[in-house]
Amino acid sequence: MPRLARLLACAVVAGSLALPALAQGQSPVKIAELSARLFEAGQQARDPLLMVAAAKLRKTLAPQPTERRAEGGEAASEAPLDWQEMLAEAEALATEDDTLLGLIEDVRAETTKGVATGPVYNIGKIANGRTDTYPRVDFIGGEYAEIYVEAKGATDLNLTVIDAQGRLVCSDTDSSHIAYCGWRPDQTAPFQITVTNRGPNGVTYALMTN
């Protein structure tokens, strides 16, 4: 496992019960993305410490559900990976390590306040090769806008954001089950969000905005 990744994980899990130093100054949407990337790195390296770091970050979030759904899309109730599942997978890999097992129990037991104003999210279900197009969402001019999608299960989700004039504002089209877009609108205006599943299977995913 890369040394830097392990150092980042240690910084997170060694933090106090408040938001870890690694996440200070980061938005809740960005923390959601960071926790997903840490967890994925932990899975690939079979390193429970990275998974615990991911769970600790995710536990600080307080996302709020919304009735938003894609036009003609399919809503779903199954949430993406949560911090309890992250810890359970870490625990399965740490069966011989009493120190790590103790750390896992500490994260389970700790109380977090969550963010003061959590991001909003909706859960959707999308088939392979399909695109979900959302009704236009207003973002405030001069304030940093963020959109994040995360699938539960291996797939390739692509995210694009189009402005009212049909111009591409942001896209994340790398091969991953997560995608993130962030930009600062010049003025308050509506933006169109599309999510495309280019993976081998249909998946449930969460779409989160600030």
pLDDT tens, residue by residue, 184-193: 999 999 999 9
Q: Does the pLDDT value for residue 45 go beyond 90?
A: yes
**Does 127 lie in the same domain as 32?**
no
Q: How many domains does the chain have?
A: 2
What pTM value is reported for the model? 0.83
**Chain segment 21-44, per-residue pLDDT in tens:** 555 678 899 999 999 999 999 999
**Does 149 lie in the same domain as 87?**
no
CATH of the domain at 194: 2.60.120.380
Domain span at 142: 120-209
Cβ neighbors of 50 (< 8 A, separation 6 or more) are 1, 5, 6, 9, 38, 39, 41, 42
Helices 98-109 & 48-59, crossing angle to 10 degrees? 10
Sign, Cα dihedral of 121, 160, 157, 22: negative
**Does 133 lie in the same domain as 193?**
yes
Q: How many other C-beta atoms are found inside a 10 Å radius of the C-beta of residue 58? A: 24
d(CA 57, CA 36): 9
Q: What is the three-class DSSP state of 131?
A: strand
Q: Does the pLDDT value for residue 8 go beyond 90?
A: no
**Does 94 lie in the same domain as 13?**
yes
Q: Does the pLDDT value for residue 2 go beyond 80?
A: no
**Does 96 lie in the same domain as 163?**
no
Selection from 1, 21, 19 nearest residue 58 by Cα? 19
Establish if 75 belongs to a structural domain: no
d(CA 178, CA 206): 10
Q: Does the pLDDT value for residue 17 go beyond 60?
A: no
Query: What's the pLDDT at 62?
Result: 82
Establish if 144 belongs to a structural domain: yes
**Does 101 lie in the same domain as 130?**
no
Q: Pick left, alpha or beta for residue 72 (phi over 0 → left; psi -120 to 50 → alpha; otherwise beta).
A: left
Q: Does the pLDDT value for residue 49 go beyond 80?
A: yes
Establish if 72 belongs to a structural domain: no
Establish if 69 belongs to a structural domain: no
The tokens of 83 are what?
């911090």
**Does 128 lie in the same domain as 36?**
no
The mean-pLDDT minimum among 65-69, 114-118, 147-151, 161-165 falls in: 114-118
Cβ neighbors of 74 (< 8 A, separation 6 or more) are 124, 125, 126
Query: What's the pLDDT at 77?
Result: 77
Whether 202 contacts 152, CB under 8 Å: no
